[in-house]
Structure 1
Amino acid sequence: MSNALGGLAGRVAFVDLSRNRVRLENSGKYSWLIGGRGLGAYLLFQELEPSTRPFDPDNLVVISPGRLVGTECPQANRTSLSSKSPVTSGTGYSNVGGSFGYNLKRAGFDAVVIHGKSEKPVYLWITEDSIEIRDATHLWGLTTSEVVKHLRELESKVSVLSIGPAGERLVFASAVIVDEGNAAGGCGIASVLGSKKLKAVAVYGDKEVPVSNPEKLRKLREEIISRMEKSNHVKIHKTRGSVGRVLPRFQKLSMLPVRNYEDDAWDESKLNKLLEGILRFRVDVKGCPQCFMQCMNVLEIRESRYAGTKCVGLQANAGYGFGPRFDIDNPLVVIKANALCNELGLDIDNAATIISWVFELYNKGLVNREEVDNLDLKWGNGEALLEMLKKLAYRDGFGEVLARGFKQAASIIGRGSEYYAMHVKNQGIIDSVRTAIAWGFGHLTSVRGARHLDGSPTTEARDYTPTQSLELFGVPTASIQTVYEGKAKLVFWFENFKAVTDSLGICYFATYWGNALELLGPKDYATLYQAVVGEEISPDELLLIGRKIREYEKAFNTIHANFTRMDDMPPPRVFVEEVKSGSLKGTKINRRKYEEMLDEYYRLHGWDEDTGFQKRETLEELGLHDIASKLERFGKLIN
C-alpha cells in the first residue's frame, strides 16, 4: 500500500438489501475527496438520477467515517451519513459522533453504501472483514435503547446505529441514533433507512488503521492535547456542556429563538432556572473515542413524574429548542423531551421547530384545541410538548399532519399558517437568524436547508480583533454582530472548512468553530493529514477540496430539487418583524443588504447571481468537468 493511502481501512462495502448481497470495492479510488462527507457527496451525485425519489429502493444511504477516524488522531471520531433527503428532495447529509465510525474503520471498512429495499426488517452485523444481513423482525417497533440492549446481548462491544419508531414510520423529522444518544439529525435519513426496512447496523472492530507516520502523529497528538488542556473554553465545556456555555452567551447577544419566532431574547430568570436545573441533574459526562472535551451530558431524573428518565446528550440546541422556543423553564421537561427524541429516533431541531410552529398557530387562534387532539398548546405547557413529540414520532392524530414537514403541513392547515412556518427548503430553522448576520446567513444558504453546522460561523459570539479576524478568515468584521460587510466571505470560508472537517471526521466542537483559537484550524488539519495519509498538502489545498465537495452538493440540489436563488432566501417574517426585547430590540434583516450579501456569496462561489446556478467557467477551473457535463445535460449550467 502506498503512503498516500494512509488512514484508509481499504474497502467500501455496497450492500444491496433487495438481493441480499454485499459487494466490496477498494476504497482508494474514492480517496481524492478525502472520505466521510466528501465520499457521500460524490457517490450521490454519480449514482442517482433525478427520477429517483427519496423512498425509492434505488436511493442510497452512504455511511462513511472520516479519513482520520480509527487512528490516534485527536478529536477524530465523526461519521457522515448521506442520502437524497425526503425533507428537501436534494442533498442530505448528517454527521454523528460516538464509537460507530471508529469501530467501522477498525473492522476494515471505510464506508457502507446501502441500496435497495428488504422485504422484511433487517439489520447489518459487521465484524472484522465480515458483513452479514440478519433478520430484524424482533427489533422492529423497539426504541433505540432497546435495540442497543438486544444487540449487545450478542456482543457487548458493538457500537449500534439504529432508527426508532419515527424512522420506521418515515417521519421527516426522524434521526439516526448511535448507541445511547449521539444523533445524526436533519434531512430525514432515518426515514430513508426505514423505507429500506433497515433497523440497525451493529459493528465491532479492532484492526489497526494504517498511519503513514505514527511518530509524527503521536507528537502532534501530544501538542494538541496540551493546548486543549490549557484552554478555558474546553474547561467550561467540560463542566457545563454546550448548553451551559452557549445559552447565556446567546441570551446576552439576543440570539435565542423565543416562542417559535416571536422574539430573540428570553426572560433572564427563566433562563437561569432552566440552566441551573439541567446541570443539577448531571450525573456524568461522556465523550467519543479520541475526544478530550467530553461534551455529552449524562442526566438522570430521580424525582417527580419523570423519575427514572435518563438522557445522554442535551446539547445547546436541545436547551433552546425545548426551552425558550416553547417558553418552558422547567428543566425536567427539557431533559425528558431530549430523552424522548433519543428513544423514538427524532431529530431535535426539526421536531422542535415544527411543533413550536403549531404552538404559535394555536396561541394566535389559527388552529383550535379540537384540531390538535384536544391538547392545550399554550406557551409553557411542557406536557403538551411531550405529547406532541410522541404523536409526531408515531404519526398519531395531528402528528400525521406534521410527519412530512412544513410545506405539506402548511398546505393542509392553510389560514395564513405558512407565514409563521420558519423553514428553508422545508428544513426547520432552529436558531435565531435576525441578530447575528453571518450566523443567520449560514443557516439560510445551507445546501441541506437551515442547519447551523454548515456555513454558520460562531465568530459573532466571540471578541476577535479586526486584525485576528482578517488573518484567520480574510475579513475584519467576523465578530461585529450586526454588520453585513464581509459576512458572505466569512460564511464561504466556514462552508469549505466544515466540508473538510466532516470529510476528515474531526469534531466541529474542537475547531475554530468552537470559538477558541487554541482549538483546531486548517494548519492543524494539514499537519494531521500529512502524518496520517502520507501526502503533503497545504491548508489552502484542503479548503479547496472542501469547496469541491460543496460543488457536488450544490449540483445535486440543482438537478434533483430544482433549487434556485429563491431557495436561499429566508422566510418573509424576518424581513418584517423586529426583535421585541433584549440588547438588539428593533432589529430585523434588511432585505436590500441581504440580497447584496447573497450576490457577493454567489460571486465568491463563481455562481450566477440571477439564478444561483453554477457556471461552466468555475467548474472547469476547479477541474469538475463531470459536474459541468451533467448540469448541461439537464439544462442547468450557465455558459
Structure 2
Amino acid sequence: MEGNYTCRILLIDLSTEKVSWSHLNKEVFHMLVGGRGLAIYYLLKNNPGNIDAFHPENSILFATGPLTGVVAGGSSAIIASKSPLTNLYYDDTIVGRLPVSLRKAGINMLVLKGRSETPIYLWINDGEVEFRKANHIWGLNVVKSTETLLRETSREAGIAVIGRGGEYLVRYASIVTDGYYAVGGGLGAVFGAKKLKGIAVQGLHEIPKPAMFKDSGKRLHPDAGFQCTRVKHTLEAYRLLNERSLLATENFRVINRKQVEYFIEDLSKIQYKEKSCQGCLMRCPSVIEFGDCLMELDWKAVHMLGPNISTFNREKVFSQIYGAFKLGLDPVSAGNVIGWAYEAFEKECFKGLLNPEAEEALRSREVHRLLSDISERRGLGALLAEGVYKASKIVLKGASKYAVHFYGMEVPGIDPRVDDRIALHYTTSGYLRDDCLMALVNQCNQQNPVENVIHVENEVHLRKSLVLCGNISLENSVYSMMLITVTGDQSFTPENLYIVGERIATLIQLFNLREGLHQRTGRIPLRLLEETIISDDKGEINPLDKEKLDLMLKKYYEKRGWSPLGRPFKNTYTKLGINKIMPKLLYLCEEDPE
C-alpha cells in the first residue's frame, strides 16, 4: 500500500503447525479497508462453503484496520468466523492490548485454521510463533488462564482465552480478551473445537504514525467537537432504552419500565472504574471490580442475566454475570436461554424429560448451577448449551413458541414490537449483534424507516472496517482525511467510503446465502408475531404486523439492489465492484430484472 500502511496476513494451520505470511491485494484494500471488510472477504474466499462452524477448515481470524494503534479510539480489532449458533457470518469487536499488539508485531490479520490433536496455546512474539502445550490450563477459568499466559509469556502481551464453555463446545461460549472483555456469538466454541485454549501476542515495533496523529487523543476526543453516537457509560445506554420502553423482561413477556428504572438507579450507586483502551484519552466508566478481576459491564449482559430472568438484585445480577464470565459463556445468550428454560418449565414443555435435580434447578431458579451445568454440558446443561433455537427444537411440545432469536442468535433484550426499524434490522441482520441497535435508538427516524436502517447499517459496516470505537462517530470527510493521511491513498474519498458499507453488506449477504440462508419474515419468532406484550406505561403493544414488515423488507431489498428473495442482482454485484475481487460468486446472484 501507499504511505505507511501495508496489510500483512499471518496464517497459522493448527493441524500441521505450519506458519505462512502473505500480503493483501491492493484492490481489496481499496474496496474493503480493513476489519469487518477484510474478514468477510477472507472467509468468503478461503472457507469452504457449507461446512460446520466446528469443522477444522472453518477459519477464525483477528482483523485490524489501518487506524488501529494510530488514532484515539483505534485500539480495536474484529474477530470473525462462522457462528456455531447460526452457521452464518459473525464478528465482534475486541478492545484493549491485543489489537495494538498485533499491529506492533507486524500482523494486520491473524488467521487460524485446522485443529490441534491436543490442547495448545499460541505464543506470538513479534511475529515468531510458538505452539505450546496447554494441558495444564485446559479446564481453568478465563481469569486464571489469562494470568497463566501472562506469566508464561510476557506481562506486556495481548491475550485471548476461552473457559470451560469453549472447551465443551457450548454454542454461545465466549472468548475473553485481555482479562475483561468477552466476545459473543459462540466464537469461544470455535477455539475449543480447534483445541486452542488461547493466544498471547507481543509486538516490539512502533506502529508508523503520521505527525498529525501524534497527539490524536486530544484531536479525536468528543469534547473537541466530534459527535458520540453512543453513550460511553453503559448505564446511560440502559437508561435511554428503558425510557423508550424498548426493554422486555421475563423472556419477552412484559415491559416493566418502572421496575427496571429502580434497578438502574441502584446500579448507578456503585463505583465504576474508568478504563482507557490503549492510546485513547477517553476513560469510559464501564468496568467494575468483582471477585478476582476487572469485568466489562455491558447493559446487554446486565439486562439478560438480570431483569430478563426476573432478577433485580444488583449483587445477585453481578454475581451471575461474573459466573458466566469466568466460565467463558456469553451472558447475553446465557440469559436468553435460561429465561426460555424457566418459561418452558412453567408451561410443562419439559414434562417427563428432566430428572429431579434438573427440575429443582429450574423451579428454584439456581442460575449458578445452571451456568455450571451448561459450561460442562451436564444433564439439562447439555440441552441448554445448544442455544435457544436448537434446544427448543429438541424439546418440542410447543417450546419453540417461547424461544426468541433470529437465525438462531439470541436477542439481547430490545423488543422489536415497540419499533418497526428494530424489527427490520433483526429480520435482515439478526445474526449479527453490533452497534446498529443503539445507533437506531439514538437516531429515532420513523419517517423513512427503511432508509434509516440501511444508512445505519452501512455506517456501522464502515466503522467496523476502520475498526474504530463505537463511542466515536465522525463524518465520512474526517474518516477520509485519516485514511489518506495514514495510507497515502487518495481514493478514500467520502463518497467511496459510503460505498464500502454497501459493499460489505452485500458480501455478508453472499456469504450467508452460500451457507444456506433463505430470508423470510417467517424466521421471526412466533412470540413476536402472535402475542401482545404488556407495558406498565404504554399498556398493550401489538404483535409485529407481518404484512407491514413484508413490505418494509421488500423495499429494503430493492434499496440494496437485491431480489425479493434477498439475492443480489448481477448488476449490483458489478456496480459495487465485487466482480473484480471475487469473480466466482456470480452464481449466488440473480439475473437483473427486465
Structure-1-length-normalised TM-score: 0.86
- The aligned residue for residue 117 of structure 1 is 115
**CA distance in structure 2 between the partners assigned to 1:130 and 1:296 by the alignment:** 36
Whether contact under 8 Å (1:64, 1:80) holds in the other structure is yes
- 2:437 corresponding residue in structure 1: 456
Q: Which amino acid aligns with 2:169?
A: L
Match of 1:377 among 355, 362, 379: 362
Matched, 1:582 2:536: yes
What SS does the corresponding residue of 2:253 show, helix, strand or coil? coil
Change (3 A) 1:185 1:295: farther
Aligned length: 584
Aligned to 1:192: 190
Q: How does 1:319-468 map to 2 (within 5 A)?
A: 319-367=302-350, 370=355, 373-377=358-362, 384-430=366-412, 431-446=414-429, 449-453=430-434, 455-460=436-441, 462=442
Which secondary structure does the structure 2 equivalent of 1:593 belong to?
Answer: helix
| Deviation of 1:166 (Å) | 0.6
SS of 2:317's equivalent in the other structure is helix
Q: Partners of 1:136 and 1:215 in 2: how far apart?
A: 43
Q: Is the 8 A contact 1:435 1:584 kept in 2?
A: no
Q: Using the TM superposition, name which of 586-595 and 622-631 deviates more.
A: 622-631
Query: Which segment is superposed worse, 566-575 or 96-105?
Result: 566-575
Does the CA-based 8 Å contact 1:253-1:583 persist in structure 2?
A: no
Residue deviations 1:533-588 (CA, integer Å, cap 9, x gap): 2223222311211221222211110011x212216842132122223123433223
Structure 1 residue 245 corresponds to structure 2 residue 236: yes
Change (3 A) 1:230 1:543: closer
- Greater shift in the superposed pair: 32-41 or 449-458: 449-458
Q: Is the 8 A contact 1:121 1:198 kept in 2?
A: yes
Residue identity opposite 2:193 in structure 1: S
Does the Cα contact within 8 Å between 1:258 and 1:265 map onto a contact in 2? yes
Q: AA paired with 2:56?
A: P
Aligned to 1:275: 264
Tell me whether 1:15 sits opposite 2:15 in the alignment: no
Query: Which among 548, 555, 558 is matched to residue 600 of structure 1?
Result: 555
Query: Could you tell me how far apart the structure 2 residues matched to 1:226 and 1:614 are?
Result: 38
Structure 1 residues 39 and 276 mapped into 2: Cα distance closer, same or farther (>3 Å)?
A: same
| CA drift at 1:608 | 0.5
Which residue number corresponds to residue 104 of structure 1? 102
8 Å contact 2:10–2:110 — kept in the other structure?
Answer: yes
My pick for the range that moved more, 224-233 or 575-584, is 224-233
Aligned equivalent of 1:143, options 141, 145, 155: 141
Instruction: Tell me, yes or no, if the aligned pair for 1:620 and 1:628 is still in contact at 8 Å.
Output: no
Residue identity in the other structure for 1:556:
F
CA contact (8 A) 1:255 1:265 kept: no
Report the secondary structure of 2:486's partner residue.
helix
Separation of aligned partners in 1, 2:581 and 2:332: 32
Secondary structure of the equivalent of 2:366? helix
- The structure 2 residue matched to 1:83, chosen from 75, 81, 84, is 81
- Secondary structure (helix, strand or coil) at the match of 2:415 reads coil
CA contact (8 A) 2:98 2:159 kept: yes
Cα distance, 1:49 vs structure 2? 2.2
The amino acid across from 1:2 in the alignment is E
1:376 and 1:59, CA in 2 relative to 1: closer, same or farther beyond 3 A?
closer
Looking at structure 1, the residues matched to 538 and 554 of structure 2 have their Cα atoms a distance apart, in angstroms, of: 26
Whether the 8 Å contact between 1:420 and 1:573 is mirrored in structure 2 is yes
Tell me if 1:553 matches 2:508.
yes
Deviations 1:44-89 (A, max 9, x none): 1011222422212111111112221122x01012111121222112
Q: Is the 8 A contact 1:18 1:118 kept in 2?
A: yes
User: Amino acid of the residue matched to residue 290 of structure 1?
Assistant: G
Letter matched to residue 196 of structure 1: K
Residue 261 of structure 1 pairs with residue 252 of structure 2: yes
- Distance (whole Å) between structure 1 residues aligned to residue 582 and residue 219 of structure 2: 43
For residues 110-134 of structure 1, what are the alpha-carbon distances to aligned partners after superposition, in whole Å with 9 as ceiling and x for unaligned? 1111111111111111121312222
Structure 2 residue identity aligned to 1:46: K
Q: 1:359 to 1:295 in 2, by over 3 A?
A: farther
Aligned-partner SS, 2:360: coil
- Does the C-alpha gap of structure 1 residues 15 and 376 become closer, same or farther in structure 2, counting only changes over 3 Å? closer
Q: Deviations over 1:138-159 (max 9, x none)?
A: 1211111111111111311111
Q: Is the 8 A contact 1:217 1:532 kept in 2?
A: no
Per-residue deviation at 1:630? 3.7
Superposition deviation, residue 223 in structure 1: 3.1
Give the 5 Å matches for 1:505-584. 505-511=467-473, 520-536=474-490, 537-560=492-515, 562-566=516-520, 569-584=523-538
Matched, 1:42 2:54: no
Counterpart amino acid of 2:455?
W
Q: What is the aligned-residue RMSD (CA, Å)?
A: 2.5
Query: Structure 1 residues 387 and 539, CA, compared in 2 at 3 Å: closer, same or farther?
Result: farther
Query: Counterpart of 1:157?
Result: 156
Which residue type is aligned with residue 425 of structure 1? Y
The Cα of 1:388 is off from its aligned counterpart by 1.5
- State the shift of 1:398 in Å: 0.6
Contact 1:80/1:93 (8 A) holds in 2: yes
Q: CA deviation at 1:491?
A: 1.3
SS at structure 1 position matched to 2:554: helix
Q: What SS does the aligned partner of 2:520 have?
A: helix
| AA in 1 matched with 2:411 | I
- Alpha-carbon contact 2:60-2:113 (below 8 Å) kept: yes
Please identify, of 545-554 and 224-233, the stretch whose mean Cα deviation from structure 2 is larger.
224-233
Q: Would the alpha carbon gap of residues 123 and 451 (structure 1) be closer, same or farther in structure 2, given more than 3 Å must change?
A: same
Distance change >3 Å, CA 620–CA 451, structure 1 → 2:
closer
The one-letter code of the counterpart of 1:575 is: L
Identical aligned pairs, as a percentage?
26
